[in-house]
Structure 1
Amino acid sequence: MREATRTTQRWWRWRSNPLRRRADIVEAWIVLVVWTVIAAGGILAGLVAGHAAEESFAQLRRERHAVAAVLVKSRAEPVPTGEAGASERVRAKVRWTASDGSPRTGWTLVGSGHKPGSGVVIWTDSRGQLAAKPPTTGAAAAEAALLGTGAALTFGGLTFAAGRFARWRLDQGRYEEWSREWAQVGPQWGRKAR
């Protein structure tokens, strides 16, 4: 039994060929540039985005502090927090002392089951305002990696789309060129030889 022979040639656009058009060389360069930009730019975009996210989370951890507070009043209905495995949290009014010594009150989420007058831990920012708990180091690293991966994939997708658009424009030019050539040659095919 005879094996099938391969009819396509690798790197044919780069080889010298009398049938090779200028558009074929341009397309070869577009493909090379697009894949190089996707590889190098995607890695760079992912690293920059991941580093920026990690730095932002580290700044949150530096600026936010746990503060002891007293529960003043709470609502009965739990608020979904979206955190897996987190206990039910309720919206509650709390009272705490700011770093400048002034008493403050505000509404925040606390664990359910606390009664008015009991102590709770809240998080405040550098100005003494209520803030959300900052992400842990592990959660921040995972989220930064996810953001970096998303940035790399987005950059790669946009670059690939730009390359496909450029190749589509080349194809449109080829179709127009073929139409012009066919308009010249096509009518001659209908004539009878004498």
Structure 2
Amino acid sequence: MTRTPPETITPIRLWRWRRNPLRRHGDLVEAWVVLLTWIFVVLGGALAGWAAASSVDSALAERRDQVHEVRAVLTGPAPKTAPSRGGYDDDRVWAKVRWTDGKGAVHTDKAKVSPGTPAGTTVDLWTDGTGRTVPPPASMAESLLQTVLTGVLVAQITGTAVWAGGRLVCGTLVRRRLAEWDEEWSRVGPEWRRLSGGRG
């Protein structure tokens, strides 16, 4: 028996999209499912990532608008040693500070300073609209990094979810096609064996 050399076998590309006697309705449906899945993976992932990045960017910009930097003065000397609270705390200590806002109102609160900072030292801190001290807002570089990472992560998660859904649908179509083949073979098989003299 002569074998056909592998290099002479030409694969039929996009056979599900071409009219041919072997193509079934389920093959065309599967081709559409695959095409639409990849379109939604790319476009859906990109749109979801862009929406998430825009939301994060807006939230960070809004927080920058709600806080402002003030110069405060230590009302007393800061402790000389920082309390030991594990490796997650920095080496600074809490000290009482006082500042005057733009309306002339005097505020007092606590801020983190270096141990042993003398009274009267000027420190920079951030406050919100109520005059409470708050952590500093993210810098422009930090905001850009958070925005980009959020967009990429959401785009990847969305694309993966869509791709998994498409694979699930394709798997269902393949199982249905195999069941149809079994059903047809149960009808054709006995006749085929009879015509071939019982072989196979």
Secondary structure in 1 aligned to 2:134?
Answer: coil
Counterpart CA distance in 1 for 2:131 and 2:147 is 27
Question: Identity across aligned pairs (percent)?
Answer: 31
Q: 1:91 to 1:177 in 2, by over 3 A?
A: farther
Q: Mapping of 1:115-154 within 5 angstroms? A: 115=117, 117=119, 118-154=121-157
Could you list the per-position Cα deviations for residues 114-150 of structure 1 after superposition, in whole angstroms to 9, with x for gaps in the alignment? 5263432222222222221111112211221111111
Could you list the per-position Cα deviations for residues 12-65 of structure 1 after superposition, in whole angstroms to 9, with x for gaps in the alignment? 100001111111101110111111112222222222222221111111111111
Q: How many residue pairs get matched?
A: 185
Counterpart CA distance in 2 for 1:135 and 1:91 is 22
Q: Mapping of 1:65-80 within 5 angstroms? A: 65-69=68-72, 70=74, 73=78, 75-77=82-84, 80=88
1:103 paired to 2:107: yes
Following superposition, which runs of at least 4 residues in structure 1 exceed 6 angstroms of deviation?
A: none
Q: Which moved more, 1:30-39 or 1:66-75?
A: 66-75
Q: Gapped runs of 5+ residues in structure 2?
A: none
> What is the CA-CA distance between 1:170 and the residue it aligns to?
0.7
> Contact 2:93/2:115 (CA < 8 Å) preserved in 1?
no
Q: Which moved more, 1:120-129 or 1:52-61?
A: 120-129
Q: RMSD of aligned C-alpha atoms? A: 2.9
Q: Gapped runs of 5+ residues in structure 1?
A: 82-87
Counterpart CA distance in 1 for 2:49 and 2:156 is 8
Q: What TM-score comes out, normalization by structure 1 length?
A: 0.79
Q: Which residue of 2 aligns with 1:112?
A: 114
Counterpart CA distance in 2 for 1:128 and 1:148 is 33
> Contact 1:71/1:92 (CA < 8 Å) preserved in 2?
no
Q: 2:173 aligns with which of 166, 170, 175?
A: 170
Counterpart CA distance in 1 for 2:135 and 2:75 is 17
1:32 paired to 2:35: yes
Counterpart CA distance in 2 for 1:76 and 1:116 is 18
1:52 paired to 2:55: yes
